[in-house]
């Protein structure tokens, strides 16, 4: 595999959690695989004063705990880490930063190529690029200059438009890499391969053969120490606007003309632009919000959301969202999409379930389960990554009794089953100058356009209920009513093939 060109990766917000838990462990994994450039350094930037050694020490604990490859801190890696403390809110301090960066560039021989990673609070997303531009650090005539922006990208349509406008004032679109870490997941990318490299799925992948599509991303933890952030965000902004709409786009998109950044991102944006808007008046009917309340989970007393640190005891912020919507285009006309996400649900699972149309006539009509469940293709993003097809089979013996059985593939069965972490893949892609797995500005805006009326309705109509659900349950019962008729959500287990036992 080609190694990226020599460069320095500058991480703003380097004393924060994301750097220690995700970014540096991912870099250490890349180092182990010899995928980093020969001449490469990380310059961590933060307000907390730390020496290079203190920064390295802190990062080494992160690597031991969070790197995918569990064999400790790789040799020669820590020396690549450096730290520079300054107040990034002060434009006047960027001159000193630039001198430090240039000195490190000369020391490392990284050829004046820089990536700037914004792992800071969002309030800094336009300020830092502005000050970098004032120092000429956006100009890429001598070497490349790339900017990675973490989520959340805006908190509604207006702020996302504004942020895009500001960033584009300092960097060109090709230089901007907006992260949605779900696209970095191996199994999410496999969605494209499953769909577009197999002749059997694509002919069925439309309104004629698919009854409905379900996307679930559940978590079995609460908001933990992130109460303050979550109060400003809620599940709709935190998970739906980005990760879940992205998964939906990959399920629904047309085959791209080529596997390259523009073709793939063009198709993603077309899906987002085809989402049928949910008007403010329809929000109550199509979108269910909930909040976890205190409960016993596996014998342990668990706090409710309102008791979490940093959360208003009267908070109406949603920790669960389930919704139904349509994609108004030729392929999907009339096919409902159901998506849901929540904190403090029974287990951590992300999966997509394609429910195929039932047979036109039920020959073996006595079998209720089959009629209700139909054929399902489960695309498991995490954990127990894999694919599962559910279909009916004759129960051996007299008569024609039908039983549902599984045909499954698990990544764990592969001889070389190393799944790189999302950040590993995304960092490497940015280093290689490939933005395919990053969100383009127009896609982010289209997603906000769909989400905005829901946020507005919730703000303007407090009568729209926030349903309480006991921690450890599958969310408010009302979310079941979104799915018409006899059908329900699939209630997934940690193990993908849940025929004989269910592990939560």
| Six-digit token string for 24 | 């540096």
Would you count residue 351 as binding ligand BG6 (CB under 6 A)? no
Say how many C-beta atoms besides its own lie within 10 A of residue 407's C-beta.
Answer: 12
In DSSP terms, 482 is beta-bridged to: none
Site residues for ligand BG6, 206-235, by CB under 6 A, read 219
**Residue of minimal CB distance from ligand BG6?**
238
Q: Which residue number, 350 or 375, has a Cβ lying nearer to ligand BG6? A: 350
H helical segments located in 179-244: 186-196, 227-235
Strand stretches in 315-400, DSSP E:
320-325, 337-342, 349-356, 376-382, 386-394
Q: How far is the CB of 127 from ligand BG6 (least distance, A)?
A: 22
Site residues for ligand BG6, 66-105, by CB under 6 A, read none
Query: Which among 448, 452, 482 is positioned nearest to 467, based on CA atoms?
Result: 482
User: Which residues belong to the active site?
Assistant: 243
Q: How far apart are CA 279 and CA 482, in angstroms?
A: 17
Q: How far is the CB of 386 from ligand BG6 (least distance, A)?
A: 16
Q: How far apart are CA 503 and CA 349, in angstroms?
A: 11
Total residues at interface with ligand BG6 (CB under 6 A):
4
Q: How far is the CB of 140 from ligand BG6 (least distance, A)?
A: 29
Integer angstrom CA distances of residue 415 from 408, 412, 418, 419: 16, 8, 9, 12
| Main-chain dihedrals φ then ψ at residue 289, nearest 5 degrees | -115, 150
Q: Which residue number, 186 or 284, has a Cβ lying nearer to ligand BG6? A: 186
Give the Cα-Cα-Cα angle 212, 216, 217 (nearest 5 degrees).
160
Q: Which residue number, 22 or 324, has a Cβ lying nearer to ligand BG6? A: 22
Q: Which residue number, 108 or 241, has a Cβ lying nearer to ligand BG6? A: 241
In DSSP terms, 404 is beta-bridged to: 392
| Six-digit token string for 402 | 């039908």
Q: How far is the CB of 468 from ligand BG6 (least distance, A)?
A: 20
**Site mask for ligand BG6 (CB under 6 A), range 148-177, x = bound:** ---x--------------------------
Query: Cβ distance 204 to 377 under 8 Å?
Result: no
The DSSP H or E segment spanning 295 is strand 295-297
Q: How far apart are CA 478 and CA 464, in angstroms?
A: 13
Q: How far apart are CA 292 and CA 318, in angstroms?
A: 9
| Six-digit token string for 423 | 């950040």
Q: Which residue number, 350 or 497, has a Cβ lying nearer to ligand BG6? A: 350
Site residues for ligand BG6, 122-151, by CB under 6 A, read 151
**Site mask for ligand BG6 (CB under 6 A), range 429-468, x = bound:** ----------------------------------------
Q: How far is the CB of 84 from ligand BG6 (least distance, A)?
A: 27
Residue from 214, 238, 308, 445 touching ligand BG6 (CB under 6 A): that is 238
Q: How far is the CB of 209 from ligand BG6 (least distance, A)?
A: 29
Query: Which among 347, 292, 299 is positioned nearest to 320, based on CA atoms?
Result: 292
Q: How far is the CB of 452 from ligand BG6 (least distance, A)?
A: 19
Say how many C-beta atoms besides its own lie within 10 A of residue 330's C-beta.
Answer: 9
Binding site for ligand BG6 (CB under 6 A): 151, 219, 238, 350
């Amino acid at each position: 595999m080609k190694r990226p060109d020599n460069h320095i990766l500058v991480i703003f917000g380097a004393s924060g959690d994301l750097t220690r838990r995700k970014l540096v462990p991912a870099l250490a994994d890349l180092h182990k695989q010899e995928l980093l450039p020969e001449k490469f350094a990380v310059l961590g930037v933060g307000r907390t004063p730390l020496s290079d050694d203190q920064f390295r020490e802190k990062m080494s604990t992160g690597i031991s705990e969070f790197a995918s490859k569990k064999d400790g801190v790789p040799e020669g890696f820590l020396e690549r880490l450096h730290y520079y403390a300054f107040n990034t809110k002060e434009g006047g301090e960027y001159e000193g930063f630039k001198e430090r960066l240039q000195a490190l560039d000369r020391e490392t021989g990284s050829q004046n190529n820089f990536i700037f990673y914004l792992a800071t609070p969002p309030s800094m997303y336009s300020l830092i690029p502005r000050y970098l531009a004032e120092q000429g650090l956006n100009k890429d005539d001598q070497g490349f200059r790339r900017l990675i922006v973490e989520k959340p990208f805006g908190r509604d349509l207006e702020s996302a438009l504004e942020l895009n406008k500001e960033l584009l004032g300092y960097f060109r679109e090709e230089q901007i890499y907006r992260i949605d870490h779900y696209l970095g997941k191996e199994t999410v990318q496999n969605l494209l391969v499953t769909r577009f490299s197999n002749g059997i799925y694509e002919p069925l992948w439309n309104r004629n053969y698919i009854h409905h599509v379900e996307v679930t991303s559940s978590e079995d933890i609460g908001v933990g120490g992130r109460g303050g952030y979550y109060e400003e965000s809620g599940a709709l902004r935190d998970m739906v606007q980005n990760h879940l709409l992205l998964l939906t786009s990959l399920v629904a998109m047309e085959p791209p003309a080529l596997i390259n950044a523009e073709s793939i991102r063009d198709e993603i944006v077309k899906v987002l632009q085809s989402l049928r808007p949910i008007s403010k008046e329809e929000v109550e009917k199509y979108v269910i919000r909930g909040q976890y309340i205190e409960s016993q989970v596996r014998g342990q007393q668990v706090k409710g959301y309102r008791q979490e640190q940093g959360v208003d005891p009267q908070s109406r912020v949603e920790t669960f969202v389930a919704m139904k919507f349509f994609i108004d285009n030729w392929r999907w006309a009339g096919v409902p999409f159901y998506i849901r996400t929540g904190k403090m649900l029974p287990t951590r699972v992300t999966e997509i379930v394609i429910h195929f149309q039932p047979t036109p006539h039920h020959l073996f009509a006595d079998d209720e389960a089959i009629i209700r469940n139909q054929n399902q293709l489960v695309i498991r993003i995490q954990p127990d990554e894999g694919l599962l097809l559910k279909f009916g089979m004759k129960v051996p013996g007299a008569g024609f009794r039908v039983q549902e059985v599984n045909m499954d593939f698990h990544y764990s069965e592969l001889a070389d089953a190393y799944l790189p972490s999302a950040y590993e893949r995304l960092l490497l892609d940015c280093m290689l100058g490939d933005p395919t797995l990053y969100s383009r500005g127009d896609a982010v805006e289209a997603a906000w356009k769909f989400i905005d009326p829901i946020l507005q309705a919730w703000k303007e109509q407090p009568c729209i209920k926030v349903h309480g659900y006991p921690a450890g349950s599958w969310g408010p019962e009302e979310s079941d009513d979104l799915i018409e008729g006899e059908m329900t959500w699939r209630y997934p287990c940690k193990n993908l093939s849940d025929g004989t036992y269910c592990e939560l």
